[in-house]
Homo-oligomer: A and B are copies of this chain.
Amino acid sequence: MAETPSKFPEVQGGGSLIIAWQVKGKKILVVGGGEVAAGRILHCLNADADVTVVSPAARLNPEVAYRVAQQQVSHVDRNFDPSDLDGADMVLVAVDDPEASTTIWKLCKERRIPANIADVPPECDFYFGSVHRDGPLQIMVSTNGKGPRLASMIRKSIAKHLPSDAGRAIETIGQLRVKLRQIAPRPEEGPKRMAWMTKVSDAYPWDEMCGLSEEDMGNLLRFYPSGKVPSLDELKAMRANPAPGKNGFDGSFGFSVGA
């Protein structure tokens, strides 16, 4: 306590490095077909991975069997064989066989394949948490192993407090960014584009972004050349039809902006 506190954030050890792994089109091998495997598989499919499940068919739980039948995952109808690791980008093991699990873990480490052996923390490059999903928005809650059930309760409580169309607000911002790049495509405008997007994000409470229509986006983009951002009220006042019905807009972007 004798030291003057630094003006930089203090290190708080004991956490994990929480990251959004990009597995689109990557090969994920899931060993086992029980309830835990079913949860892992859904996580992987939600991230567009190419999933292969290795497990005797007789031991697949109904959800995993359903994913196999729907061809959402590939299925190898037998126990694990080391050749299954060929080409795998990630391995998730969820079988009730500690010895087999450890063998697979060691093979993965030899081959430098990231792996998670369910319920065996020392044999995990990474842990899973409880994830809330709403379109492009993902919120992951980890208690760093202290209380998995609590993580799921906290996730539900967070979801309850989010605006119901938070995902749509984020899509809207994402669209705005894309449209902006269309009307101001030059790379040297990057800093101006970024500064303006920051101004937009700062100008409006994020949960009110959900309410912006395609028309609002169009009106907003007209301000970009000047570098200004209108207030939310000003923006709403620009609407052709100030109180649009649910079907008031066709979703098209019917205007053009001079550069």
Contact = CB atoms under 8 A, between A and B. Distances in A.
Interface in A109-168: 112-114, 116, 124-129, 131, 133, 135-147, 149-150, 153-154, 157-158, 161-162, 166
Q: Which 6 A/B pairs are nearest by Cβ-Cβ distance?
A: A146-B174, A16-B20, A19-B126, A112-B112, A18-B140, A147-B173
A220 to B, nearest CB: 14
A30 interface: no
Interface stretch (A5-13, A230-238, A249-257): A5-13
Nearest to A40: B17
B17 A47 contact: yes
B21 A125 contact: yes
Size bracket of the A interface: 35 or more
Given A11-B42, A17-B22, A19-B127, 7 more contacts: A112-B113, A137-B141, A139-B158, A140-B142, A143-B173, A143-B174, A157-B161
A173 to B, nearest CB: 4
Given A144-B136, A174-B146, A201-B150, A63 B8 contact: yes
List the number of copies, as a whole number: 2
Contacts of A171: 146
A72 B137 contact: no
Contacts of A72: 11
